[in-house]
Chains A and B, each alone.
Chain A
Amino acid sequence: MEEVVGPLLAAIDEQDRLVAAVTAPPAGGRAAALDRIEAELDGPVARVQAGPGVVPELPEEGIVIVEDCQLLYERRIDGFEGLEQLRSAIMDSEATIVLGWDRYAWQYIAQVREIARLIDHVAGIPELSAAQMGQLLEERDVVEGIELIDDRDRSAKIVDIEWRRVGHGERQIGVPVPRVDIAALRGDMAEEAAEDAVVRRLTEAAGGLPGVAWQLWQAALHDGAVRYGDISATEVDDIDAVTAWLLYIVLTNEQVSMDQLDRMVTDQDIEGLLYRLRQDEIVRSEDGTVRLRVQAIPAVIDALDRRRLLW
């Protein structure tokens, strides 16, 4: 995070007035980065929250952090009013403004709305590597007193043969398809320590997102130990176009009400889609607000990326 926050702080320090965007995927450390920026800046820093239909007032001078700017628009015709009001407020203010954005919402907005032209500096928080994840766990004393156990089956075959049916209708034949077990190959090739293997597994399952890693860690923690085999991420199977679109909206807005979903996913059985996604432990609904389950975020990102909904 230092390599992202450091240059932003330096830019704020150097210039009289700056408009910046801090972007990260959901559970990707954006809140922590904004906390860090607030703590490191000299002088009073105002911190305001954007919301659906709630455009925060910006001070005329000083420094202000605006959180969750992705809540200010809906991806539909005439759904950008809140964002336009924020744009006007930015142009009317002389304050240094730091906007917190969901990464994928920002990538979209940067291509289609003029607010992107007002931004002087974009600080994109990257996913963590396994080494960075291990360092983070140590810094937060998470691993203190916890045993990390690599319980992988070393006897697993690296290459196995699977017979698959190929053909149309009744004209099918069995074809031998070699299957390589990447985990077994990696375990066989690399003599990594149990601690390294568990942290690597945690990082891979979390897609490098610290918030997801924390959830997976807690789910895998049993009797003072975290086992490699207990770290598992939610999987998202092949999804249809409507489900992908609904998940895209929930991912980019990070939290969305049923009314908003009705406006953006038109002419569809939203209740039915959400029921299926809740059953598959991909989304959760509370008080009429739909969010992704944290453990499902990497798989949803992957699925939407494959469908080219994320750029």
Chain B
Amino acid sequence: MVESVIQEAGFKIGWGVWARSGLAIVLAYLIARGLSHGLNRVSQRAVEHRIAIKMLIPVFKACIYGGTIYYVLSSVLQISSSQLLAFSGLFGAALGLGIKDLFANVVGGLVMILERPYRVGDKIQLGDHYGEVLDIGIRTTTLVTPNDSEVSVPNYLLFTESMSNANAGSPEMLVVTEVAVDVDADIGRAKEIMEQALATSQYFYASDDHQPWVNVDDGPRYTTITGKAYVNDHRNEQQFRSDITERVLDRFEEAGIERPTFPE
């Protein structure tokens, strides 16, 4: 049935057309992969400009694939306005029949390109998923989780779920580290240790607008010492938190600052 509709609409698709279309798509894929690989390599060498360079990848990809689609449709298939109308009818029917989710993802992808709620290289929470944005595709966004797993998150989640962006294009991001101490512990000393642990970490970053601070929250069973500081590169988030926690706990033990105990 589809073939007859295509023939009625005036398409003349021979092997040469398929071959040229296929070649154009393969070439576009190789160029996009090569460019993506090259820009990734360059971005690894410069932390300061890493995200800016990585942001170029989806832009280049969109240009390459957009240009390829244009080439295939206009030059190879030589679509006329009546053919485009027929194609639109088919597209509408297909959309109604079962690709509405795909379409929602594509619209989500387009919104993302226009509004840029996050960029490649950002650390985001989208729905239940948290990680660094590795790639923004037209259908899905690929995240790398703290456990180094790649997760493809459908773009339509942008409309249905809350989204938080930890660094919004900057290499640095705020990291929160909490440690609990006994209610009778020397809170002043504990706070001082946390402050110094933050500021002496190799992953620490500070500027006039990015200062560390420490909160103390009193609770019935324990007191929480919360350190907040910026990590110099958000890829070091886990190492930063671990480094602070490890050194704080070591020093608490040396200083006789007791940790809370819970009844069994």
Chain A interface residues toward B at CB < 8 A: 75-80, 108, 111-112, 166-167, 173, 175, 177, 238, 241, 244-245, 248, 305-309, 311
C-alpha gap A167/B40 in the complex (Å): 13
What per-residue 1/0 map shows which CB atoms of B214-242 lie under 8 Å from chain A? 00000000000000000011001001000
Tell me whether B207 is interfacial, beta carbon within 8 Å: yes
User: Are B33 and A166 touching (Cβ within 8 A)?
Assistant: yes
Complex contacts, A76 vs chain B, CB 8 Å:
196, 200
Interchain residue pairs with CB less than 8 A apart (5): A175-B34, A238-B45, A306-B47, A307-B47, A308-B48
Complex contacts, A175 vs chain B, CB 8 Å:
34
Complex contacts, B183 vs chain A, CB 8 Å:
none
User: Are B196 and A80 touching (Cβ within 8 A)?
Assistant: yes
C-alpha gap A177/B37 in the complex (Å): 12
Q: How far is the CB of A58 from chain B (nearest CB, A)?
A: 25
Q: How far is the CB of B186 from chain A (nearest CB, A)?
A: 14
Complex contacts, B202 vs chain A, CB 8 Å:
241, 244-245, 248, 309
C-alpha gap A190/B33 in the complex (Å): 37
Most A C-beta atoms less than 10 A away, residue of B193, B202, B212, B247: B202
What per-residue 1/0 map shows which CB atoms of B39-66 lie under 8 Å from chain A? 0000001111000000000000000000
Chain A contact residues: over half helix, strand or loop, or mixed?
mixed
Q: With A177-B38, A307-B233 as known contacts, state yes or no: A77 contacts B200, CB within 8 Å.
A: yes
Q: With A77-B247, A166-B37, A308-B48 as known contacts, state yes or no: A112 contacts B206, CB within 8 Å.
A: yes
Tell me whether B205 is interfacial, beta carbon within 8 Å: yes
Q: What is the size category of the interface that chain B forms with chain A?
A: 20 to 34
The 3 closest A-B pairs by CB, nearest first: A111-B206, A308-B232, A112-B199
Q: With A173-B30, A238-B45 as known contacts, state yes or no: A308 contacts B205, CB within 8 Å.
A: yes
Tell me whether B211 is interfacial, beta carbon within 8 Å: yes
Tell me whether B197 is interfacial, beta carbon within 8 Å: yes
Most B C-beta atoms less than 10 A away, residue of A112, A167, A311: A112
Q: Which of B166-180 contact A (CB under 8 A)?
A: 171-172
Complex contacts, B259 vs chain A, CB 8 Å:
none
C-alpha gap A31/B35 in the complex (Å): 48
Complex contacts, B48 vs chain A, CB 8 Å:
305-306, 308
Tell me whether B20 is interfacial, beta carbon within 8 Å: no
User: Are A78 and B47 touching (Cβ within 8 A)?
Assistant: no
Nearest chain B residue, comparing its CB with the CB of A264: B200
User: Are B47 and A308 touching (Cβ within 8 A)?
Assistant: yes
User: Are B45 and A306 touching (Cβ within 8 A)?
Assistant: yes
C-alpha gap A91/B84 in the complex (Å): 81
User: Are A308 and B38 touching (Cβ within 8 A)?
Assistant: no
Complex contacts, A77 vs chain B, CB 8 Å:
193, 196-197, 200, 247, 251
- New A-B contacts (16) at CB < 8 Å, excluding given A79-B196, A112-B206, A308-B172: A75-B200, A76-B196, A76-B200, A77-B247, A78-B251, A108-B206, A166-B33, A177-B38, A238-B45, A244-B202, A245-B202, A248-B202, A306-B48, A307-B47, A308-B232, A311-B207
